[in-house]
Amino acid sequence: MDWSLILNWGFLIALATAGITLAVPVLLAALGEIVTERAGVLNLGLDGVMVAGGVAGFMAAFYLQNGPLAGISQWLGLAVGVLAGMLMGLILAVLTITLRADQVVAGVTLVVLGHGVGNYLYRQNIGTLTARTNGLPPLALPGLNRIPVLGEILFNKDGTVYLTAFLVFLVWFLLFRTTWGLKIRAVGENPAASDTSGINVNLTRYAATLIGTALAGLGGAVLTVVQLRMFREGIMGGRGWIALALVIFARWRPGLALAGALMFGLADAIQYRVQALSQIERGVGTIPYEFLLMLPYILTILVLLYRAGRGDAPEALGRPYVKGSD
């Protein structure tokens, strides 16, 4: 392979730009999961929630883009994705918080449900693989986009990228600067102590689960409505699972989740680009593209190995709260 094709400014800038964009869906899901897990609820169904958000968001945007609301169809699609995510969250919350079902089983059920219902709805209603949404145009931030290199990488993005950056701050602020955040973290660490302090444990956990799945639904919808502009089976590519690993990597902190998501986004971007180059080159010594496809997942495994056995998890993660037992 001719490495000069890769190691030049134009290519690296394109790589960074793509990496940031690819980081967005995973980062949104990871942010949501941080809120949920901080409250002590483990949502293993994240991938299913993202699919639900992705399919609902795509279908809404697709149907609306030929009507009177065409101008804002993408944003409405994203909003529908959020609602679909919250609907999944409600199912999880009823099962695990109210009925105290096992969180692992309920989470896995949610994955199967999200994929099954998502694919079914798409095939029933649209079916074709050529359906596309309009996507969102890049929104250059005046002034900032003229900074050399950085301007192009950071400030010439579609609106969802800026929104996600703001959400990273917002989630951090919610968790660490508000009384709501204090309550969310308290019920995740010690629900009995929270209860005796007059906090409604189950209500707080419902709220955290819904916030979390709203963000995961948004992440799924960003991928289908804005980035790939299509839906098909398996489109999520296990991003929900990667997001779950990211939460562990990030030690349940929004800022570190941002760093981790960028790493995964870059790995993904490299994978796409080297794959494309290999196709052009077709020379001796090219890497089979299947190996490149593995890159983000191998990274996930490495991250989990690195973090294995270190305890920063919320103390009560995965445990339903039963009054009067501790």
Partner 1 sequence: MHGIVKRFPGVIANAGVDFDLLPGEVHALLGENGAGKTTLMNVLYGLYRPDAGEIWLRGRRVAFSSPREAIGQGLGMVHQHFMLVKPFTVAENIVLGQRSPREPLAHDMRQTHRYLRSLSGQYGLAIDPAAPVWTLSVGEQQRVEILKALYRGAEVLILDEPTAVLTPQEVDDLLAILRRLAGEGKAIVFISHKLGEVLGVSDRITVLRDGKVVETLPAQAADEHGLARRMVGREVLLRVSKGPAQPGEVRLAVQNLSAVNDRGLPALRGVSLEVRTGEILGIAGVAGNGQTELEEVITGLRRATSGTVTICGHTATNRSPTAIGALGLAHIPSDRYAMGMLRYFTIAENLVLQRVGQAPFTQRGWLRKDIIRQEAQRLTAAFDVRTPSVENPARTLSGGNAQKMILARELARQPKVLLAAQPTRGLDVSAIEYVHRTLIAQRDSGVAILLISTELDEILALSDRIAVMYEGQIVGVMDGPGADIHQIGLMMAGSKRSSL
Cβ distance to partner 1 smaller for residue 148 or 309:
309
Cβ distance to partner 1 smaller for residue 11 or 180:
180
Closest contact distance (angstroms) between CB of 260 and partner 1 is: 21
Closest contact distance (angstroms) between CB of 165 and partner 1 is: 22
Question: What is the rounded distance in angstroms from the CA atom of residue 314 to the CA atom of residue 28?
Answer: 20
Question: What is the rounded distance in angstroms from the CA atom of residue 137 to the CA atom of residue 161?
Answer: 12
Closest contact distance (angstroms) between CB of 192 and partner 1 is: 6
Q: Is the dihedral of CA 311, 312, 313, 314 positive or negative?
A: positive
Judged by DSSP in three states, 140 sits in strand
Question: What is the rounded distance in angstroms from the CA atom of residue 47 to the CA atom of residue 246?
Answer: 13
Cβ distance to partner 1 smaller for residue 171 or 186:
186
Closest contact distance (angstroms) between CB of 177 and partner 1 is: 6
Q: Which residues contact 145 (CB under 8 A, 6 or more apart)?
A: 151, 152, 155, 156
Per-residue tokens: 29: 């899901």
Closest contact distance (angstroms) between CB of 209 and partner 1 is: 19
Cβ distance to partner 1 smaller for residue 183 or 205:
183
Cβ distance to partner 1 smaller for residue 40 or 54:
40
Task: Write out the H or E segment, with its range, that includes residue 128.
Answer: none
Residues near partner 1 (CB under 8 A):
177-183, 185-186, 189-190, 192-199, 315, 324, 326
Q: Are 219 and 25 in contact (CB under 8 A)?
A: yes
